[in-house]
Amino acid sequence: MKSFKVYSWSNFKQQVQIKCILCRGLTTLAQPLCQLCLATCPAPLCFCSCCGLPIQDSDTGICGQCLKQPPLFDRCLSPFLYQFPVNRILQLVKYQSRLELIKPMVVSLAEWLMDYYSDDHWPEIMLPVPLHRNRLRERGYDQTLLLTRALKKLLCTGGLGIDLEIDQQLIKRTIHSVPQQSLDAIARQKNIRNAFTLNRKPPWHHVALVDDVVTTGATVSEITKLLKNSGVQRVDIWSIARTPET
Ligand SMILES: [Zn+2]
Ligand SMILES: [Zn+2]
């Protein structure tokens, strides 16, 4: 009897060669951004341990703004700055359904988190920042939920003993606000105010709020306020990229 070799989808993806989305050099389906291009993605060398923004060499590791008035959330952890090519990649994911491009970004986030939490307590749950249902209908997918699921897969199936669930029911976006990227910092804050509600009292002390990009922090601060008013003690923000202040 003839035997057939069975290839799993992940083996298949690792072997199929495609062109890198940036340099057009050869890479694999499992890694649509080649290693060389991934290495050119801008990352903060030195960043504030609170808001995640790049800082100059500082003794405390906390930026002047956070020393004066710390944000509501406790940490913002992002492996990349929202600059080329990371901004381009995330826009392709969000607006052109290039969902396969999220993978190399999520791998970097997972590595960043594993490094950070080797020295700290992991949160008890991951809470993706939700889309309004009208926007979900327009777009057909929720890129933040997809990235959170990809992250869970990387963190929890690697035999690392990390056990994190996703709760996508707790936070509801009740107001269909205009997209934040068209607004300045003050308008963003106003636009997002009261845009979310919690479905129930959260049962956790320490949570991770996941978003694709953190710009002024208006969205994550608004949700953090709700969570902390409902008894959550620590809110860590996880995102692929952080927009540096201009
Ligand atoms: Zn490349
Ligand atoms: Zn700071």
What's the structural domain count of the chain? 2
Compute the distance from residue 13 Cα to the ligand 1 centre, in Å.
Answer: 17
Q: Are residues 29 and 125 in the same domain?
A: no
Compute the distance from residue 50 Cα to the ligand 2 centre, in Å.
Answer: 5
Ligand nearest to the CA of 245: 2
What is the DSSP annotation of the chain?
----PPPPHHHHHHH-EEE-TTT--EEETTBSS-HHHHHHS---SSB-TTT--B--S-SSSS-HHHHHS--SSSEEE-SEES-TTHHHHHHHHHHH--GGGHHHHHHHHHHHHHHHHTTSPPPSEEEEPPPPHHHHHHHSS-HHHHHHHHHHHHHHSSSS----EE--SSEEE-S-PPPGGGS-HHHHHHHHTT-EEESS----SEEEEEEEEESSSHHHHHHHHHHHHTT--EEEEEEEEEPPP-
Compute the distance from residue 44 Cα to the ligand 1 centre, in Å.
Answer: 21
Compute the distance from residue 179 Cα to the ligand 1 centre, in Å.
Answer: 31
Ligand nearest to the CA of 75: 2
pLDDT score for 2 = 44
Q: Are residues 112 and 209 in the same domain?
A: yes
Q: Are residues 36 and 107 in the same domain?
A: no
Ligand nearest to the CA of 31: 1
pLDDT score for 12 = 58
Q: Are residues 35 and 85 in the same domain?
A: no
Ligand nearest to the CA of 60: 2
Ligand nearest to the CA of 70: 2
pLDDT score for 6 = 47
Compute the distance from residue 204 Cα to the ligand 2 centre, in Å.
Answer: 25
Compute the distance from residue 77 Cα to the ligand 1 centre, in Å.
Answer: 25
Q: Are residues 151 and 164 in the same domain?
A: yes
Q: Are residues 14 and 55 in the same domain?
A: no
Q: Are residues 103 and 17 in the same domain?
A: no
Compute the distance from residue 31 Cα to the ligand 1 centre, in Å.
Answer: 10
Q: Which residues sit with Cβ closer than 5 angstroms to ligand 2, an ion?
A: 48, 50-51, 63, 66
pLDDT score for 14 = 64
Ligand nearest to the CA of 217: 2
Q: Are residues 72 and 146 in the same domain?
A: yes
Predicted structure pTM score: 0.87
Q: Are residues 95 and 173 in the same domain?
A: yes
Q: Are residues 32 and 51 in the same domain?
A: no
Compute the distance from residue 181 Cα to the ligand 2 centre, in Å.
Answer: 21
Compute the distance from residue 66 Cα to the ligand 2 centre, in Å.
Answer: 4
Domain that holds residue 118: 44-242
Q: Are residues 20 and 55 in the same domain?
A: no
pLDDT score for 226 = 97
Q: Are residues 4 and 89 in the same domain?
A: no
Query: What CATH number should be reported for the domain holding residue 196?
Result: 3.40.50
**How confident is the prediction along the chain (246 residues), in pLDDT tens digits per residue?**
444 444 455 565 667 788 887 888 898 877 778 888 888 888 877 888 899 888 876 567 888 889 999 999 999 999 999 998 899 899 989 888 888 888 888 988 998 999 999 999 999 999 999 988 888 888 898 999 999 999 999 898 866 778 899 999 999 999 877 777 777 778 877 777 888 999 999 999 999 999 999 988 999 999 999 999 999 999 999 999 999 875
Ligand nearest to the CA of 23: 1
Compute the distance from residue 52 Cα to the ligand 1 centre, in Å.
Answer: 27
pLDDT score for 13 = 60
Ligand nearest to the CA of 38: 1
